[in-house]
A and B are shown apart, each in its own frame.
Chain A
């Protein structure tokens, strides 16, 4: 099928088990280095859409990463991973609880766009 993509989650064992039941592709990672490696590999995976033109699309549209792992990803790596429209890399709070990383990330996005974080409380 042409417009269908898979969803992946990268995290520690306890976190990904719950999502596995939902049918997501799960990848186990315990350190940031492992996470970055997996993310790059996932990004590389492509499906050929049209054999004649050689048109490809990424296999994964959304990759969830648990916050504790996402926090350590360097800016350069993150930029390389997220510059295209897909996949979307989204930090989610893991089994260790929320760390406010997601909210801070939105703050960073606002700062990038506007020049300063205007929604800061």
Chain B
């Protein structure tokens, strides 16, 4: 592991200690966030998958009906029949905050009658297929809602996962290595001074002893 490029001083040691502490705290918080997101995400994705299958099936059927219905009329008649729909859809959107991700909730409002054309030139199948469309439309909105939610959560989960991994596998080990390096360096310096002092003391003592011996010899 790479050590950080710092001077091995006591000051740096203190700084790095606080940094390690906050990094660990941040890591724990992010990990909790990741777990929380994952829990919500799993629920939503499971629902999305089953709902999509259901909607796709229904929609294919509706299209088939619509195709059959439209084949009984000339394209011009069909188009003019559907040119000015009186039905109106409006969507109310609310957002909910899940672990700092804003996810949308849709609320559909439908107004007016979809069968807004003359019955003379159009076939009865058209009415049936259009009401099939209308019936399935709420679940289509629901699908849009949970797929968008899943998408938003997935994006957030990805960045959170990266952050957690960067902290766990890069920043925290690096900091710890550097801390270890600085403590070792400082200990080494301490021992060096100790040995130095001991040697000086020994030299002084030796000199004093020699002096004493000399004086004794002179007497």
Which residues of A are at the interface with B, using a C-beta cutoff of 8 A?
Answer: 1, 3-7, 14-15, 17-24, 61-62, 64, 82-83, 85-86, 88, 90, 92-95, 97-98, 102-103, 105-106, 109-110, 112-115, 119
Contact = CB atoms under 8 A, between A and B. Distances in A.
Q: What's the dominant secondary structure at chain B's contact region?
A: helix
Contacts of B88: 23
B129 interface: yes
A3 B152 contact: no
18 contacts: A3-B92, A4-B109, A7-B141, A14-B70, A19-B133, A21-B87, A22-B85, A24-B89, A61-B104, A62-B141, A83-B155, A88-B148, A98-B60, A106-B48, A106-B49, A113-B45, A113-B153, A119-B46
B85 A20 contact: yes
B158 A113 contact: yes
A90 B41 contact: no
A15 B59 CA distance: 11
A106 B150 contact: yes
Contact of A23 (B59, B110, B152): B110
Contacts of A14: 66-67, 70
Nearest to B63: A95
B147 interface: yes
* In the complex, the 10 A-B pairs of residues with the closest C-beta atoms, listed nearest first: A88-B148, A113-B154, A23-B87, A113-B157, A90-B144, A23-B89, A5-B91, A23-B88, A109-B154, A62-B144
Between A7, A19, A106, A113, the greatest number of chain B beta carbons within 10 A of the residue's beta carbon is seen for A113
A4 B90 contact: yes
A12 to B, nearest CB: 11
Interface of B: 38, 41, 45-46, 48-49, 52-53, 55-57, 59-60, 62-63, 66-67, 70, 78-79, 82, 85, 87-95, 102-104, 106, 109-112, 114, 116, 129-130, 133-134, 137, 140-141, 143-145, 147-148, 150-155, 157-158, 161
A77 B161 CA distance: 24
Given A61-B104, A92-B59, A95-B63, 12 more contacts: A3-B92, A17-B82, A18-B63, A23-B112, A88-B144, A90-B148, A93-B56, A106-B48, A106-B150, A109-B154, A113-B41, A113-B45
Contacts of A22: 85, 87, 89, 110, 114, 130, 133-134, 137
Contact of B91 (A6, A17, A98, A102): A6
A1 to B, nearest CB: 8
